[in-house]
Amino acid sequence: MRTLDLQHMGNDARKALDTLDMDIDQWAKIAGLPVGHMQFIEIAREIDKTNLKVLVFDEPTAVLTESEAVNLLEAMRAISKRGIAILFITHRLQEIMDICTSITILRDGKLVAQKRKEETSIYELAELMIGSQVGELMRHPNENLAAKPVLLSIKNLKVAMSGEEVKDVNLDIHEGEIIGIGGLAGQGKLGIANGIMGLYPSEGEVTYQGKPFVLNDTIHALQTGMAFVSEDRRSVGLLLDSSIELNIAFTAMQRQHKFLKKLGPLKQMDKKAVRALALRMIQDLDIRCTGPMQLTRRLSGGNQQKVCIARALCLEPKLLFVSEPTRGIDVGAKKLVLQTLVRLSEELGLTVIMTSSELAELRSVCDRIAIVTEGKIAGILSSKDSQVEFGLLMAGAKHGST
């Protein structure tokens, strides 16, 4: 019968940890260790393998403190000196410039550029990462936002949304503005709307229309004049096996008792009113369908998204959260959706908080754009600011830093 050679295992583990200059007890239990220590133990496990030629690091510093990140970069240098090639995947441009010899930039799944470190700068990398194309300007930013009342004030917001955790967001939104929330995937931009609308556990101090706002309560959010178009239309936004017209009217019927008529002591859906509403929304948003009775499941992804927007608009909200509004929509429909948001803001005074991965779209319609990095707002820019400034913020640089 074979048994574990604990002495050999301990010596081997100690040697691997010493290679990384980590003073971690090789016999310590993993459970309860700091996240940074867990990261180093994973690396030690890999470099302990024989004949290791290539080691891939995928966003390794994302969960580390600043000091832990510095230690990790030093460990990567030591590993490289042993003849092991390192593929370092990260959006932190300063770390790339600190440690890499050659750099490859990808955007939208395509190769954009390959550079030697000595041939480029952090500013050029930022511009390459974001791209230079800017969407058609649909409105000019409002330069007098400071004179308008604050509609929503967010202080120290934390949201436990897996993959989009919000750690400490502070932001004031003024009446009638369209404010964009941008950032790379997984940095927390989607968590803000989901948290305030009560879909994920949240904490912090939020004031809405001058009054304290109750977090973790979706019904309260809807009743106070908020509406939400989720980025996850199939799981959150739609009744897939119901008609278009029922989907559009459902939340307004349920929460605001609209489109109902009395039948003795009971109430039932006013089919005529719902039909008229659906026909109007189908025309206004150009929902491509066979008619208001078509099942939502049978619509294309883009047209399903338009139904979600129509449902939110039926609530006649003062504040509209819209996350990834043009995801899965063709180019012509994208422009129509964005124009609709602009029209609603300008004609009805609707305040819009638009979260999007499409920076060009945010710049085409928003007054201000807040960039979220690592669960916090790295800075707030105007659509007129340069691509480089946006790129630097998304890469983790502080606003105004050089």
64, 98, 130 - which closes a domain = 130
Pair 270, 367 in one domain: yes
Residue 110, beta-bridge partner list: 107
Pair 195, 287 in one domain: yes
Pair 162, 34 in one domain: no
Cβ proximity of 31 and 15 under 8 Å: no
- State residue 23's pLDDT score: 77
Selection from 33, 26, 34, 29 nearest residue 9 by Cα? 26
CATH number assigned to the domain comprising residue 244 = 3.40.50.300
User: In this structure, is the dihedral angle defined by the CA atoms of residues 52, 55, 61 and 67, taken in order, positive or negative?
Assistant: positive
Pair 158, 121 in one domain: no
Q: What is the pTM of this model?
A: 0.69
Cβ proximity of 227 and 218 under 8 Å: no
Pair 198, 335 in one domain: yes
Report yes or no on 222 lying in a domain: yes
Backbone φ and ψ for 178, nearest 5 degrees, come out as: -110, 110
For 85, other C-beta atoms within 10 Å of its C-beta total 11
Pair 340, 376 in one domain: yes
For 386, other C-beta atoms within 10 Å of its C-beta total 13
Pair 155, 221 in one domain: yes
What does the alpha-carbon distance between residue 316 and residue 222 come to, in Å, rounded to a whole number? Answer: 10
Q: Which two tokens stand for residue 303?
A: 């047209």
Residue stretches of the chain with pLDDT short of 50: 133-134, 400-402
Residue 121's domain comprises 6-130
Selection from 131, 49, 103, 36 nearest residue 75 by Cα? 36
Residue 373, beta-bridge partner list: 376
Pair 353, 382 in one domain: yes
Distance of CA 316 to the CA centre of its chain: 25
Pair 207, 236 in one domain: yes
What does the alpha-carbon distance between residue 158 and residue 166 come to, in Å, rounded to a whole number? Answer: 5
- State residue 301's pLDDT score: 74
3-state SS of 198-240 is CCCCEEEEEEECCEECCCCCHHHHHHCCEEEECCCHHHHHCCC
Selection from 206, 204, 205, 150 nearest residue 318 by Cα? 150
Q: Domain count of the chain?
A: 2
What are the C-alpha distances in Å from 360 to residues 2, 24, 123, 136, 220?
A: 62, 46, 18, 8, 33
Report yes or no on 374 lying in a domain: yes
Report yes or no on 163 lying in a domain: yes
Report yes or no on 377 lying in a domain: yes
106, 130, 154 - which closes a domain = 130
Report yes or no on 317 lying in a domain: yes
Report yes or no on 136 lying in a domain: no
95, 130, 165 - which closes a domain = 130
Report yes or no on 112 lying in a domain: yes
Pair 88, 156 in one domain: no
Nearest 5°: the CA angle 255, 259, 261 is 110
For 197, other C-beta atoms within 10 Å of its C-beta total 23
Report yes or no on 264 lying in a domain: yes
What does the alpha-carbon distance between residue 299 and residue 146 come to, in Å, rounded to a whole number? Answer: 42
Cβ proximity of 37 and 23 under 8 Å: no
Pair 72, 178 in one domain: no
What does the alpha-carbon distance between residue 68 and residue 65 come to, in Å, rounded to a whole number? Answer: 5
First-to-final CA distance of the chain: 63
- State residue 319's pLDDT score: 96
Pair 224, 110 in one domain: no
